[in-house]
Structures are given as C-alpha cells and as structure tokens.
Amino acid sequence: MRLSRRQRARIFEAVARALLGTAAALVVGVAGFLLLYIAFRGIPGLSWEFLTDVPRNRGREGGIFPALVGTLYVVFGTGVLTVPLGILGGVYLSEYAPRSPSTRFIRLAVANMAGVPSIVYGLFGLAAFVLAAGIGRSVLAASLTLTCMTLPVVITATEEALRQIPADLRHAALALGASRLRTVWTVVLPAAAPGIVTGIVLGLARAAGETAPILFTGAVFQMRRLPDGPGSQFMALPYHIYTQVTSVPNWNRDLVWGTAFILVATVSAASALAAVWRSFKRRRTAW
C-alpha cells in the first residue's frame, strides 16, 4: 500500500506523540510511584515514641529523636551562615557587579560550585574545617561544609529574584534621594523576597538530606544524648538511614523507612510551602 506524503506525516505525528507522551508519563509515573512508595513504607513506622525516643538496640528499636534534633541543629547552623552570605553575594551580582570579565568569572564559579560532588565537599570540610582550622568533627564543621554546598543555590536564587524587579523601581528610589544601598535594602530586596525565600528553603532542604558532606565532619552512628553545642558531634537523619542499612544486620525496616518518610516529608513540605507562599505573593506583583 502506498501512502501519500500527507498520510505518512500524519502517522509519524501520531507515533511520535505517543512515544514522547509515554516517556513523559514514565518520568512522572516514577516520581509519583516514589512518593507513594515512600509514604506506604514509611507511615507504619511512625509513632510518638519513634519521634521522641532515643535509638535502642543499635537502632533496631526506639526512636530517632537525637537524629531529628541533630539534623535541625545542622540545618539551623547552615542557615545562619548561608542566608546572609548568599543574599549579599546575590545582591552583589545583581546590583553592584560591573559588566566585566571578573563578574563573568564569579558567575562561572557559582555555577561550578553547584556542580561539585557532595563527597568532595565532605573531603574539603574534613581538610579545611575539621583539621586545618582545628574545629574538629562537630555541628559547626558540618554546618560550614554544608554552607559551602548551599551557597550557590541561595546566591543564584537571590540574583534571579532581584533581576525580576524592574529597573524603574530602583530609579524611583534613587530619584527620591535614596542611596544605592538604601534602595536595595528598602525597595528591591523586599520586592524580591518571595523568590529569595524559596531559594533559601530549597537550599536548606537539600542540606538537610545530604549525607556525604557530613560523613567525616561530625555525624556519628549513635548518640544517646543531644548535641550540647556547636562543638558537639551529632546524629543526623540521612546518616542514620545509611548506617542502619549498611552496618546493622537485620535493621528494622519500619523504623528506617519511617526515618526516610520524615526526611522526605519535611523536605517536600518545606518546598511546597515556599512555592505556595511565593505564588500567593506573586499575584500582587505582576510586573
């Protein structure tokens, strides 16, 4: 049977559409499956005791309270360091940096930082913070390491959010006699806040889930007490999952999946909240 050009084109169109659609459905399907599977496996392990008790019998029983608190400490430490540095860095790139090769160089460095493997950050943290700076394995050393990793996320988000703000708004403030710094601080940054906050939340959520950077910088297998300061070692949720699976024979499936669920749920809830807040704020500011 001979087909006309038109008919052939139409068949190709249908086949291509079907194949491409299948690929997209596959990707979305995998993501949806992961979401449901993690919930399905994780929810049975959840209980009040699980959230508030210390691990017992090498983690096969009890709860994950110290790991939960340890992760919160490290994320808090990372936030305290990353937020100011990242925002200032983004402000520099968007508002102060000249159009010059050196600025291009900085942007390249930011993009590259985002691509450095997390285990390399771990090595760097060990060599620079734990050993060279003499901080030792601790909440502080891990926070510093995670800060290096999170910084490019916050810098990029800040720069992009600032770029969305129309130049007119800056000029209006300057024309009222505001200095450049005051313009940025009172007009541009508040207007860009939704985008910046989203970037910070995404960056910190990622930091909360990272294992490799904290392997050698302060995370420990088990601790009965909570970290008592920035110099203390700590348990962390992702590291807890890793050590349970790889070094505890007959690890408790329910408890480990429960831990994974807590981690994923917290990270996704934070990102979702940030996204909702941003779209709520955006309705106002349709530049």
Restricted to residues 103-162, the positions that interact with another protein (CB under 8 A) are 105-106, 108-124, 126-128, 131-132, 148, 151-152, 155
The correct pick among 10, 56, 224, 282 for binding another protein (CB under 8 A) is 10
The correct pick among 212, 223, 235, 274 for binding another protein (CB under 8 A) is 212
| 146 C-beta neighbours (distance < 10 Å), count | 30
Cα separation of 203 and 69, whole Å?
19
In whole angstroms, how close is the CB of 209 to another protein at the nearest point? 3
Closest CA to 237 of 112, 51, 17, 1: 51
The correct pick among 161, 196, 200, 267 for binding another protein (CB under 8 A) is 267
Let me know: does 188 contact 95? Beta carbons within 8 Å. yes
Query: Which residue, 54 or 264, has its beta carbon nearer to another protein?
Result: 264
The correct pick among 54, 69, 72, 85 for binding another protein (CB under 8 A) is 85
Closest CA to 81 of 149, 137, 136: 149
Query: Which residue, 28 or 51, has its beta carbon nearer to another protein?
Result: 28
Cα separation of 264 and 224, whole Å?
24
The correct pick among 3, 7, 20, 224 for binding another protein (CB under 8 A) is 20
* Residue 222: partners with Cβ closer than 8 Å, 6 or more residues away: 55, 58, 59, 235
92 sits near another protein (criterion: CB under 8 A): yes
Query: Which residue, 129 or 229, has its beta carbon nearer to another protein?
Result: 129
Query: Which residue, 48 or 244, has its beta carbon nearer to another protein?
Result: 244
Query: Which residue, 182 or 224, has its beta carbon nearer to another protein?
Result: 182
3 sits near another protein (criterion: CB under 8 A): no
> In the structure encoding, which two tokens stand for residue 274, read together?
């940030």
Using DSSP, how many helices (H) and how many strands (E) does the chain show? Answer: 12, 2
Q: List binders of another protein among 189-208 (CB under 8 A).
A: 190-191, 202, 205-206, 208
242 sits near another protein (criterion: CB under 8 A): yes
> In the structure encoding, which two tokens stand for residue 11, read together?
């068949």
> In the structure encoding, which two tokens stand for residue 241, read together?
């999952």
265 sits near another protein (criterion: CB under 8 A): no
250 sits near another protein (criterion: CB under 8 A): no
Cα separation of 234 and 211, whole Å?
13
30 sits near another protein (criterion: CB under 8 A): yes
> In the structure encoding, which two tokens stand for residue 112, read together?
């590259």
* Residue 79: partners with Cβ closer than 8 Å, 6 or more residues away: 200, 204
